[in-house]
Structure 1
């Protein structure tokens, strides 16, 4: 991303502030008609890509070259035309009225400039996928066999992508143009008001003195911060620049230090109350309140971070590592004294759970951020700081907006050509009518998509292609969408392409692949939980209170067994056979069949207690000698 100077900086600054103010206005007074709202959103986001993102690594990084200014102007024309003519566009009869020549030209310009913007912002993977889907729409009728598509004329393709709400301007871009944008601005206000720093201080105060303190600080602070940022890589750089060097200094190997941060940061996207753009899109796809997504995500998120925390604790005990020195840890008293700083988060959670829309809750939380800043002498937000907060939040819109718009091309191709039904048939035939094998195949598809796409785009594409198959196999819509979402998220720590692990390794200095494999071990429960909640809805808090509580207890015990078995330590080293037994019992503790789960829990807990007692006794005997 360019670091602009001079008048180009001010052009970008005021354009992003104007974008933010527009979205604040529509959040307070009501959004415009869907197509108009999305067109205005893209009218700002698409041209600004060419201001902030260079053509290549060799392009200027501190100024905008003349050819990018041309792209800024050209890319704005299709959206400007849509804004000025939106009433005629939304009332026209699709596939009946002819596409006007100027609409065809503007549609072509929009698709081409959007693909180029995607290449710059998101990467080649989504660009190639969207291009392939456009080619399939146009040439699919020439393919042989079951992949033969129906004939669609070129002007109808452009019409579908540009002049309807089923292509580029479909639901994903709509979520970016409403909820996501407000939450990005909320994130800017949180940063300016000091909430991010407070989370770090809170994590230090809670875990700083314990064994392996910095690693536990990474887990806690990344969970808290990630709940706001919703981006694994952004999370790594926000907290990892502090925690990774501290972990290395304390005695953790660089590979482990980077893996801890990658795992903790990736989990931020599944941590309520703000789980990133994909969770908002999921609520729209399912047609349910966002509060239900928050409730469903609570147990898996808690178990994920508990599992990571346990493994970090055991590794620290195994290496006999200590906590931070006293002078680096803020006192509990000073932290509690400033606890009012988290009031915006409290307001957000309470309002969402009481039934307010996410946008209303975010607006109230933004106002609370400003009020909280007035109580903090070093963080008081005047007019300049408010504009800076809007700019800071709006600057993060590019990846989400461009990914959502381009994912709309894929979604549009699926709806226009019926290729989604072919994918469902393929999954059915390969899975052999076995629901578990279908889950495995969809998990692999989601991981592959997540390796090359941002979480939001990976989720949109995978849900369009695979969720219908899972629903046909009998899994609930919520479980199916959450399953795809989780694997799209955790592709960030799944080799061979683990973006969060790569980001962490750039800070730790370790091998990216080694960091990725270590992160996969630390986050192993993230691979298991989606299968568990597909077969037992209690893991998503969709059952009775007793069964929901039983699922939580089962998950905690499973995390203890898996963590102990993988690390091979519990007050002392554990032999290989016992480690395998603990891992097996941990898997059984997540089984949907209650009798098997009870066996796994009973035997596993008994084994852990016996091990702890024996190893503790041996340790005390060694000390006595």
Structure 2
């Protein structure tokens, strides 16, 4: 794994081989090891691969080795025109079967079933009635479209290409951030910034998870990394186990929204839309700030209502602990600068990784030994391997949906249900993405939703980037929404709490994901588009709306709120966020006015206990 990651890093700085060779190498080095790392069943040997696992691994290597060896011929062949030989048919079937099994073991059984279902639809779709009916596909066409159509989709399609290049190098950069001690810097920074305030551990969880998200972009890994520290602290000061798990999972999910290294789906977005990643980064910045503002506000109001204490002084690191690692921010600055200067993503990540290694060497505290460098590369490889198969599986689904015309058919169903109403179309698409998120990781969920939903949004006049950002946000927060929420379930395991209730709390703490998602469509200032006045107005509207909503469901503003005031604040918050038929100044006046009115009422009532 470490050697494979090192080769990807080398290519990121010097240039990649031609696409088929790179994709073949990427899949060859990352798919077979999954059978050796992930047991087939709970009853299988857990600490060593069985003979059957080795057979699976060798079978998985065969199709990709053949492609790598015959890369020139594969690149030159005309898809669906040149003969698809019996050997290619056999290798294609082996590729699909091993991919399904690797996905089942290492990613999600739900994704494996969706891939299998898409292939079954190509085989039997011509028997279905109405809009579900498709043309007849031969077995060779099905296998070829799923495996070897590098210009359109499937295992060797463009999605695998972006993972094998840009995303791989960013994952390596994130691994070196963790290996150099940047994680310690973020953890200490969160504790110093928020630990002394009411509900300190919860606020530390929010800040730390957001900062960790710049490294991994994975909600589950964020939960595991930061939750081991923050969840017990939250429980210790009085949060219930389900609320503590909900706060941590909501904060960790937002890591995929946090620039400069967002989740893999953001890089896929750049590839699909042909929009520079630097532009996507800028468009996502205010939305990410609002997401974490809402969680912090909710945590603050709940902590005030419950009368919680700050972190113990002994648990808060000294400021010198933060300063001792502060030089590790320089590589992140280098990355952001290169991206905003429109350097390619893979070269920017390569330069930032080299800068991280060099900067870490300046002080003994952060100096990376050869072993630490090797471990960072190995950790990057362990992260890339499951992503490789999940993206390849998503490529098969997209290829099947496109070939059968199901993208058009399903999009037509949604369009007909929406009846030309943009707001209804957005609700239907958001629901679709959340349903996909029940069984799919964020990136495949976003890819499939974009194939279905973006054409419908474009047809109603929505610009390309807002359309993709809308679907991206809902694909991300699906990891925290019930009934199946990967991040919330991981947090619940740490907290020893109910997974379902943890995901319910995660949803209410991550409410900004819903309001900001719609703001991308209706309030372009959130994406830093328009004049300065429009940008500031859009931002303040969201701040007011989120403060109102979080205060309403926490039952606290400056003091405890009665039912009538909670209803008033909640209604005003929803109006500020979603009453798009009103002019922006009117929406802002509603939000700020409601806040000022209730705050003044609570401040002036002599019987109301005041709070700091």
Q: TM-score range by the shorter chain?
A: over 0.9
Deviation of 1:552 (Å) = 1.1
Which of 128, 131, 137 matches 2:113? 128
1:238-257 paired onto structure 2 within 5 Å: 238-257=225-244
Cα separation, 2, equivalents of 1:269 and 1:579: 31
Which of 154, 166, 171 matches 2:158? 171
CA contact (8 A) 1:90 1:164 kept: no
Structure 1 residue 406 corresponds to structure 2 residue 393: yes
In the other structure, the counterpart of 1:3 is: none
Deviation of 1:595 (Å) = 4.3
Cα separation, 2, equivalents of 1:352 and 1:493: 29
Cα separation, 1, equivalents of 2:509 and 2:246: 8
CA contact (8 A) 2:181 2:325 kept: no
Which of 80, 85, 101 matches 1:95? 80
In the other structure, the counterpart of 1:483 is: 470
Structure 1 residue 527 corresponds to structure 2 residue 517: no
In the other structure, the counterpart of 1:138 is: 123
Structure 1 residue 73 corresponds to structure 2 residue 62: no
Deviation of 1:598 (Å) = 2.7
Which of 367, 388, 413 matches 1:380? 367
Which of 11, 25, 36 matches 1:51? 36
Cα separation, 1, equivalents of 2:490 and 2:135: 43
1:104-123 paired onto structure 2 within 5 Å: 104-123=89-108
Structure 2 vs 1, CA of residues 328 and 141 (structure 1 numbering), >3 Å: closer, same or farther?
Answer: same
In the other structure, the counterpart of 2:179 is: 192
In the other structure, the counterpart of 1:7 is: none
Structure 1 residue 465 corresponds to structure 2 residue 452: yes
Cα separation, 2, equivalents of 1:623 and 1:192: 46
Cα separation, 1, equivalents of 2:194 and 2:603: 23
CA contact (8 A) 2:259 2:281 kept: yes
CA contact (8 A) 1:171 1:281 kept: no
Deviation of 1:156 (Å) = 1.7
CA contact (8 A) 1:586 1:600 kept: no
Cα separation, 2, equivalents of 1:58 and 1:116: 16
Deviation of 1:495 (Å) = 0.9
State which drifts further: 173-182 or 237-246: 173-182
In the other structure, the counterpart of 1:5 is: none
Deviation of 1:59 (Å) = 0.7
Q: Secondary structure at the match of 1:356?
A: coil
Structure 2 vs 1, CA of residues 17 and 432 (structure 1 numbering), >3 Å: closer, same or farther?
Answer: same
Deviation of 1:596 (Å) = 4.4
In the other structure, the counterpart of 1:25 is: 10
Tell me the TM-score normalized by structure 2.
0.96
In the other structure, the counterpart of 1:313 is: 300
Which of 181, 203, 208 matches 1:216? 203
CA contact (8 A) 2:572 2:594 kept: no
Q: Secondary structure at the match of 1:376?
A: coil
CA contact (8 A) 1:532 1:592 kept: no
Structure 2 vs 1, CA of residues 369 and 233 (structure 1 numbering), >3 Å: closer, same or farther?
Answer: same
Deviation of 1:264 (Å) = 0.3
Cα separation, 1, equivalents of 2:327 and 2:609: 48
CA RMSD of aligned residues (A): 1.7
Structure 2 vs 1, CA of residues 144 and 388 (structure 1 numbering), >3 Å: closer, same or farther?
Answer: same
Deviation of 1:620 (Å) = 8.0
Deviation of 1:157 (Å) = 1.7
Cα separation, 2, equivalents of 1:457 and 1:287: 18
Number of residue pairs the alignment of both structures matches: 609
Structure 2 vs 1, CA of residues 433 and 607 (structure 1 numbering), >3 Å: closer, same or farther?
Answer: closer
In the other structure, the counterpart of 1:578 is: 565
1:449-486: per-residue Cα shift (whole Å, max 9, x none)? Answer: 11111101111111112222222222222111111111
Structure 1 residue 599 corresponds to structure 2 residue 548: no
Structure 1 residue 281 corresponds to structure 2 residue 268: yes
In the other structure, the counterpart of 1:298 is: 285
State which drifts further: 110-119 or 539-548: 539-548
1:197-236: per-residue Cα shift (whole Å, max 9, x none)? Answer: 1100001111110001000000100000012111111111
State which drifts further: 203-212 or 145-154: 145-154
State which drifts further: 206-215 or 611-620: 611-620
Cα separation, 2, equivalents of 1:501 and 1:620: 40
Deviation of 1:302 (Å) = 0.7
CA contact (8 A) 1:270 1:301 kept: yes
In the other structure, the counterpart of 2:139 is: 154
1:553-564 paired onto structure 2 within 5 Å: 553-564=540-551
Structure 1 residue 502 corresponds to structure 2 residue 489: yes
Tell me the TM-score normalized by structure 1.
0.94
Query: Structure 1 residue runs of 4+, over 6 Å off?
Result: none
Deviation of 1:390 (Å) = 0.7
Deviation of 1:384 (Å) = 2.4
1:519-538: per-residue Cα shift (whole Å, max 9, x none)? Answer: 11111121122122212222
In the other structure, the counterpart of 1:588 is: 575
Structure 2 vs 1, CA of residues 159 and 569 (structure 1 numbering), >3 Å: closer, same or farther?
Answer: same
Cα separation, 2, equivalents of 1:57 and 1:539: 47
Q: Secondary structure at the match of 1:126?
A: helix
In the other structure, the counterpart of 2:420 is: 433
CA contact (8 A) 1:590 1:597 kept: no
Cα separation, 2, equivalents of 1:88 and 1:80: 14
Unaligned runs of 5+ in 2: none
Cα separation, 2, equivalents of 1:118 and 1:622: 56
In the other structure, the counterpart of 1:34 is: 19
Deviation of 1:619 (Å) = 6.9
Q: Secondary structure at the match of 1:569?
A: coil
